[in-house]
Homo-oligomer: A and B are copies of this chain.
Amino acid sequence: MTVYGYSASGNCHKLRLLLTQLEREFKWVDVDSTAGATRTPEYLAKNPNGKVPMIELDDGRILTESNAILCYLAEGTPFFVGDTYQRALVLSWLFFEQYSHEPYIAVARFIRGWTPLDSPRRASLPQLRERGNQALAVMEQHLKSNAWFSGEAYGIADIALFAYTGVADEGGFDLSAYPAVLAWLERVRQTPRFVAMPAPPVEALSRLALPD
């Protein structure tokens, strides 16, 4: 299996983390989505939506959308278990992540790290921060009475939500207001075969180190 991904993207790292924890072999092809590499004719022929991550199976079949890929890879494993209702709860968190979390927390990090310091997009940071904090508050409430987002044990909903919550500080979010989230992040980091997301490129890192 080949994973097409940008290493410092949380959406892409979800797949590296799950595949590593599943001890599955895979080839990683780095695609710099921040430099137009998902908009080439060759890439668009495989994924007309022009986004990473994408997987290509050995027989050439393609699958896109990080959380759909998580479901596919985790099927039949301890990372996606339960009856129809329990699995629907996992899906509910996956859709929450893509609709109410990622567009604020991941996008704030992207704008801070990957756009010029004078980018007009930086004006949106306060609003992204507000909506991202709403998502973190929802997570905090869940974690006050649950250890995981995937049911009784760690699984793909935790992997999906960990991806950008684990680097929310790079988006300018202060997680000290969310002690249950901080404790959960640490539990995720202690899971077997956990692997951290690679650091962003140097230029992004230097921007991320600056205040807004």
Contact = CB atoms under 8 A, between A and B. Distances in A.
A89 B141 CA distance: 32
B65 A75 contact: no
Given A99-B98, A99-B99, A103-B103, A68 B49 contact: no
Interface string A54-98: 000100010111111101100110000000110111011011101
B142 A96 contact: no
Nearest to A140: B48
Contacts of A99: 65, 98-99, 102-103
A68 B95 contact: yes
Contact of A88 (B63, B84, B95, B138): B63
A115 interface: no
Given A84-B72, A84-B75, A99-B99, A65 B91 contact: yes
Given A48-B138, A49-B138, A96-B49, A85 B64 contact: no
A63 B49 contact: no
Nearest to A139: B48
A63 B92 contact: yes
A98 B97 CA distance: 11
A135 to B, nearest CB: 8
Contacts of A76: 84
A65 B92 contact: yes
10 tightest A-B contacts by CB? A72-B88, A68-B91, A65-B95, A68-B92, A65-B92, A75-B84, A48-B138, A98-B99, A48-B141, A49-B138
Given A61-B85, A71-B91, A99-B102, 9 more contacts: A63-B85, A64-B92, A65-B96, A68-B94, A71-B88, A76-B84, A95-B95, A98-B98, A99-B103
